[in-house]
Amino acid sequence: MNGTCIEATDKINEAIAHKVGQQRYKIWFKNSTRLMIEDNYVKVGIPNLFIGGWIENHFAEHIHAAIQEVTGKSMKVIFTIDPALFGGQRRRQLDSQAEFLTKSPTARRRQDFNPNRRTNLRYRLDNFVVGGANQLAYSAAKTVVMEPRTHFNPLFIHGGCGLGKTHLLQGICRAVHENRPETRYLYVSGEEFTNQFILALKMGKLDLFRSKYRQTDLLVIDDIHFLASKKATQEEFLHTFNAIDMASKQVVMASDAPPKMIGQLSDSLVNRFLSGMVVKIDTPEMETRCAILRQRAAEIDRKIPEPVIEYIAENIRANIRELEGALLKVVAYCSLSRCEVNLVLAKEALEDHIARTDPIVHLSDIEAAVTTFFGITPADVHSSKKTRTISLARSIAMYLARKHTTMSFPEIGRFMGNKNHATVILACRKVKTFLDNPDKPVMWETSLGRREMCIQTLLDKLESSINR
């Protein structure tokens, strides 16, 4: 990156800090992101999918506005995993992220309750790359677009991080709006639903909140697993769902895990979710990965030789964001080398990246499965919190990471909140001790009371979810 680009990225960071506030910038951007300007796009390096997803979902508009302000033009923003950032966060920052999430429903939305506020939709169905791994989910999404009321309600889409769930949900909303403009739709995240419910409750505007959600024709909720451990919000959502269903309207949801694997979720909600169509998005197969790379190359207006496309697709299998990140790394490397993109340079650019990439199970998938099951967030695992539930979840995540990936103890520790290797070793020993005493169940606390389970049963559930 030349001096001009470095100066521009510094100014963009300053503009972002001004727009989101110094506290939020310190918690979510400082030491957690690295910006790079390359041709007509901006790459935002992130340490893991959790932080990337949070920043993308909550601060994307601020980032775009900062880029426009500094460069004077609109540029595409792409988030990509940057392994160099794994250990960059400090304990205080990690704890602040966990605390921020804990207080988010009450501490962040200070503005007046606005029932008409609508999220900007960035994705479209017509540029969703379809393959065997997502064909059923895509077909179900198209059915929702074409029919005001489908024979399945709700449609529940689940799959690992970065596989296209949000793309499908936003694509449904855009297509419905274009094809049936009279349709009243709402697209929110599980967190936004929770925030708005609590604000409405505090401000005495529950009637307005309920009117907004229960009189819609299409309710689309992303990251529904955010409702885990929030008993009052779950009850409100159940009533909302029942009202929409009774009116013969449609509900679509997405989650990192299938209904039965979302911890601290009421049986009533689980049964409601299972009464509709539950469909999974798998990791894309080779042909689909190649198609995704070709499409992304066209979007950034770069000609990528087919051998390079195939090399990246063969070696990067975890998720779409990592595919995009690898492609951008190759493009940036070749630009700095002042050479056209070719296979030799692509192998040089990705040598370290591929060495860190596990071709079977990705650590972020393990973390997502474990945190969803226990009803906590990755930020809790990354923090220094030592409650019974968080400590158990952290130990199990580290044990599964060691078992199912080729990552070393130090690498796992850096990924999970910059922990030292001794912490990971002790966590693995802790789980093995549980396994040596199979008659003694492990216990943890939930908002619905204490739960206990045989450790082998617990591990089997998580492993089936990770390898599904």
Model pLDDT, residue 208: 92
Residues constituting the chain: 468
Angle between helix 343-356 and 320-336 (nearest 10): 130
SS3 248: coil
Predicted confidence (pLDDT) per residue in 298-319, tens digit? 888 888 999 999 999 988 877 7
Listed residue (99, 115, 117) closest to 24, CA to CA? 99
Contact 220, 250 (CB under 8 A): no
CA dihedral (261, 267, 272, 275) positive or negative: positive
Predicted confidence (pLDDT) per residue in 114-168, tens digit? 544 556 688 899 989 999 889 999 999 999 998 877 788 999 999 887 889 999 9
110 C-beta neighbours (distance < 10 Å), count: 7
- DSSP track, 183-218: --EEEEEHHHHHHHHHHHHHTT-HHHHHHHHHT-SE
Give the separation between CA 84 and CA 325, rounded to whole angstroms.
13
- DSSP track, 118-134: -PPP---GGGPPP-TTT
57 C-beta neighbours (distance < 10 Å), count: 15
Contact 189, 173 (CB under 8 A): no
Model pLDDT, residue 274: 93
Predicted confidence (pLDDT) per residue in 158-199, tens digit? 988 788 999 999 999 999 999 988 999 999 999 889 989 988
Cα 85 to Cα 35, 49, 132, 133, 415: the distances in Å are: 12, 12, 33, 30, 9
Model pLDDT, residue 106: 41
Model pLDDT, residue 224: 92
List of residues 6+ apart from 197 with CB closer than 8 A: 209, 232, 233, 236
Give the separation between CA 432 and CA 421, rounded to whole angstroms.
17
Model pLDDT, residue 290: 94
Domains and CATH numbers, the chain: 3-89 (3.30.300.180), 125-281 (3.40.50.300), 363-466 (1.10.1750.10)
Which residue ranges in the chain fall short of pLDDT 50? 106-113, 115-116, 358-359
